A and B are shown apart, each in its own frame.
Chain A
Amino acid sequence: MEPARLVQGNEACVQGAIAAGCRFFAGYPITPSTEVAELMAERLPRLGGKFIQMEDEIASMAAIIGASLCGAKAMTATSGPGFSLKQENIGFAAMCEVPCVVVNVQRAGPSTGGPTAPGQGDIMQARWGTHGDHPIVVLAPYSVRDTFDLTVAAFNCAEDLRVPTIVLLDEVIGHMRERVELPGQSEVRVVDRRRPDPSRTAPEDFVPYAHTPDLVPEMADFGSGYRHHITGLNHDERGRPFASPAEVDRLVRRLNGKMSLAAQRWGLFQEVATADAEVLVIAAGSPARSAKEAVRSARQAGIKAGLLILQTIWPFPAVKVADLASRARVVIVPELNLGQLVGEVERYACRGRGEPRVVSLTRVDTELFPPAQIYEALREVR
């Protein structure tokens, strides 16, 4: 464990990325994510890594995919408008199974919105922003320490599944400074993509998009001897754009099957006082912080309140939500948008034994949820 320090969320993100092995960053300045790029520009070349400020957000996304194909662990960071611009190439990464991490420090939207104001309006865009059925994993930290941990997890997940992984911060978490103890390098578990082993697989036998039972084919770096074609077109197992309808079907189903794998391996959440919770708060990102305090106050007041913090938002932790919600009378979902997460909660909350009432708490006035607002909601529904 490193000594305790005052650390900003965006800095913890950089620390986590570097601890996970990130050695390539391409970005474009945008508030409130810019500190990520600035710190990467300073640190990466000192570690033998590469930083580049590209000409736009689209190019940044393209550059990290190119670097990842050379074997580097690569990341970009942006906010709402830039996230919109990256979407086409995020889809390319999903289709061509290129591990990469995209940090989106959400700000109030739509459009230019509030660059220095918090928001969570990108929850659906993070899942469905690019066209077509595609796999994508989205992790949402709720504290500075969590930002470090989930950035590490994002790299590990991207490498494990060969899917683009989004770290969905919000402005509060990105810009907040708090006292944290971050783990030392030896305490960080690092996952690397599986590469073909020359002693087992000859280049002529390498099948770059093999439909293996574990859904994730081995990945060969450019220049490693396993020459193959990579295309965003529908492709067969060899990466060639001549796939039959049956092969396209197999490809799209295998790619999207990774979402089930992600749910098993990278479905992360935290529970606070849920064991006997009759009133359950489900939250992600900065509202989870306020909810934690509200639930603590509610317990002191004798209300059987509990909290489920969703760290993985996509794939949506359906099983966990269904389980806890079925035991609750009321579920409250606070979010800094007009109700994106709550729709998913409603989809799964009523699948269990009970039929909890689902209450949506929303804010789009660029302000945070004070704990008192969530506490009041808990009191009202008790």
Chain B
Amino acid sequence: MATARDYLLSDALPHIWCPGCGHGTILGALLRAIARIDPPKDDVVMISGIGCAGRAPGYLDFNTLHTTHGRALAFATGVKLASPERRVIVITGDGDAAAIGGNHLIHAARRNIGVTTICFNNSVYGMTGGQYSPLTPLGAFATTAPYGQVEPAFDLCELARAAGASFVARGTAHHAVALTDLIYQALQNDGFSFVEAISQCPVSYGRRNKLGNAAQMLRWQRDNTVNVKAAAKMTPEQLQGKILTGVLHHAVRPEYARSYEQLVARLGAEREGKS
């Protein structure tokens, strides 16, 4: 039985993440979910963009590719289409996925290409020191929102679902065991899977917004999220301001790379038939 530890490169550690960062917890959940499936390491291609989350693949014993800012899904599309037999996983952040990479996200979802995407959402650009992202809540403070965020935030899960993702889920660093299970389900989905994993950034976001230390930010995650199953029994008033977690959407749709393989096979058969 594989464990998360099997995938970590001890000589590539320690990681660069700040004390109290939720990214290690989310990476742990991802690795435990992979261990449950236990694929050959050679079959896994893990791709990331730029930012704090983007550094994760560098600590792992897979085929790992740390690309340019926002473009991980575009690189992943090339990998998956060229090698449909590989298990392709993208690690991205909220700025990487929702701002500079937003176009690639909606088109990867539309194609339903077989890529599992985990968005480490810490509500801020952490690597560059705390600028607002498209997922920074309205009114929150950031170095580039010194008077409070004026722009409304995306609901990235709604965006992915509307664009055509066949599996959409949201979890948090606080609910690490549940998150592992959500990522496991995402990895099992045959098509484009999107998991938003809410992380905490005490250094560049929490401090500026008086959210306390990492433990207090984790408690915030607990107190402000509701699982979709529980939400079904709650009133709109009770759900006011709450963030939904759990499997938000699951639909069966043809996976893009396989559809293209079928086209190749059909054209081959037509040619054989003619000759």
Given A48-B268, A74-B78, A59:B63 Cβ within 8 A: no
Kindly name the residue among A26, A56, A59, A92 whose own CB sees the greatest number of chain B CB atoms within 10 A.
A59
Q: How far is the CB of A202 from chain B (nearest CB, A)?
A: 14
Tell me if A222 and B45 are in contact (CB < 8 A).
yes
Asked if A223 contacts B63 (CB within 8 A), the reply is: yes
Interface contact B68-A59, CB-CB below 8 Å: no
Query: Smallest distance from the beta carbon of B150 to chain A beta carbons, Å?
Result: 28
B12 to chain A, nearest CB (A): 6
Interface secondary structure of A, over-half rule: mixed
Q: What's the Cα separation between A64 and B82 when bound, in Å?
A: 9
How long is the Cα–Cα vector from A9 to B271 in the complex, in angstroms? 27
In the complex, what's the smallest C-beta–C-beta distance from B78 to chain A, in angstroms? 3
Interface residues of A in 50-85 (CB under 8 A from B): 50, 52, 54-56, 58-60, 62-72, 74
Interface residues on B, range: 35 or more
For residue A48, which residues in chain B have a CB less than 8 angstroms away from its CB? 264, 268
Please, which residues of chain A bring their CB within 8 A of the CB of B86? 70, 222-223
CB proximity of B27 to chain A, nearest CB, Å: 15
Do the beta carbons of A223 and B83 come within 8 Å of each other? yes
Answer yes or no: A89 CB below 8 A from chain B CBs. yes
Q: How far is the CB of B28 from chain A (nearest CB, A)?
A: 19
Interface class of chain B by DSSP: helix
Q: Does A229 contact B (CB under 8 A)?
A: yes
Given A46-B267, A59-B107 in contact, is the A223-B82 Cβ separation under 8 Å? Answer: no
Contact partners of B45 in chain A: CB under 8 A: 222-223
Q: Which of B42, B85, B104, B260 contacts A224 (CB 8 A)?
A: B42
Option from A59, A72, A231 in Cβ contact (under 8 Å) with B66: A231
Q: Given contacts A55-B103, A223-B83, is CB(A92)–CB(B268) below 8 Å?
A: no
Task: Give A247 to B177 CA distance when docked, in angstroms.
Answer: 41
Q: Are A59 and B77 in contact (CB under 8 A)?
A: yes
Q: Inside 8 A of A230's CB, which chain B residues have their CB?
A: 64-66
Residues of B contacting A69 in the complex (Cβ-Cβ under 8 angstroms): 65, 79
Task: Give complex CA distance A31, B65 in Å.
Answer: 32
Q: Mark B110-141, 1 if CB is under 8 A from A, else 0.
A: 00000000000000000000000000000000
List the A side residues contacting B79 at CB < 8 Å: 66-67, 69-70, 222
Cα A109 to Cα B143 with chains together (Å): 39
What is the chain A residue whose CB lies nearest that of B69?
A88
Is B64's CB under 8 angstroms from A54's CB? Answer: no
Rounded to whole Å, the gap between the CB of A57 and the closest CB of chain B is 10
| Residue from B83, B107, B260 with most neighbouring chain A CB atoms (10 Å) | B83
Whether B62 is near chain A, meaning CB under 8 Å from some CB there, is: yes
**Chain A stretch 194-236: residues in CB contact (< 8 A) with chain B:** 222-225, 227-233
Known: A63-B81, A223-B83, A227-B63. A55 touches B104 (CB 8 A): yes
The answer on a CB contact under 8 Å between B82 and A59 is no
B-side contacts of A89, CB under 8 Å = 68, 71
Greatest chain A CB density within 10 A among B45, B47, B62, B71 is at B71
A163 to B57, CA, bound (A): 24
Interface string of A293-321 (1 = CB under 8 A from B): 00000000000000000000000000000
CA distance A49 to B41 in the complex (A): 26
Answer whether A233 and B66 are a contact pair too, CB < 8 Å, given A59-B103, A70-B83.
Answer: yes
Q: Report if B263 contacts A (CB, 8 A).
A: yes
A240 within 8 A of B: yes
In the assembled complex, the Cα of A223 lies from the Cα of B68 at a distance in Å of: 22
Does any Cβ of B come within 8 Å of A45's Cβ? yes
Mask: chain B, 59-93; 1 = CB below 8 Å from A; 0 = not: 00111111110010011111111110110000000
A65 to B47, CA, bound (A): 12
Closest chain-A Cβ to B25's Cβ sits at a distance in Å of: 22
Q: Are the C-beta atoms of B78 and A62 separated by less than 8 Å?
A: yes
- CB-contact partner of A45 in B55, B85, B107, B267, under 8 A: B267
Task: Please tell me if the beta carbons of B62 and A66 are within 8 angstroms of each other in the complex.
Answer: no
Question: With an 8 A cutoff between CB atoms, is A24 at the interface?
Answer: yes
B42, B62, B68, B83: which contacts A62 (Cβ < 8 A)?
Answer: B68
- Is A129 in the interface zone, CB < 8 Å from B? no
Rounded to whole angstroms, the CA-CA distance of A337 and B15 in the bound complex is 50
Is A241 interfacial (CB-CB < 8 Å)? yes
| Distance of B113 from chain A, by nearest CB (Å) | 10
Contact B263 A45 (CB under 8 A): yes
19 A-B residue pairings within 8 Å (CB atoms): A45-B264, A45-B267, A50-B81, A52-B77, A52-B78, A56-B103, A62-B68, A62-B75, A63-B78, A65-B75, A66-B78, A89-B71, A223-B42, A223-B43, A227-B62, A229-B66, A230-B65, A232-B66, A232-B68
B contact residues vs A (CB 8 Å cutoff)? 12, 41-43, 45, 47, 55, 57-58, 61-68, 71, 74-83, 85-86, 103-104, 106-107, 260, 263-264, 267-268, 271
A-B interface, 4 closest residue pairs, ranked by CB to CB distance from nearest? A66-B78, A63-B78, A62-B74, A59-B74
10 extra A-B contacts, CB within 8 A, seeds A56-B103, A68-B78, A230-B64: A26-B78, A50-B264, A55-B104, A66-B80, A71-B83, A89-B71, A222-B63, A223-B86, A231-B66, A241-B58
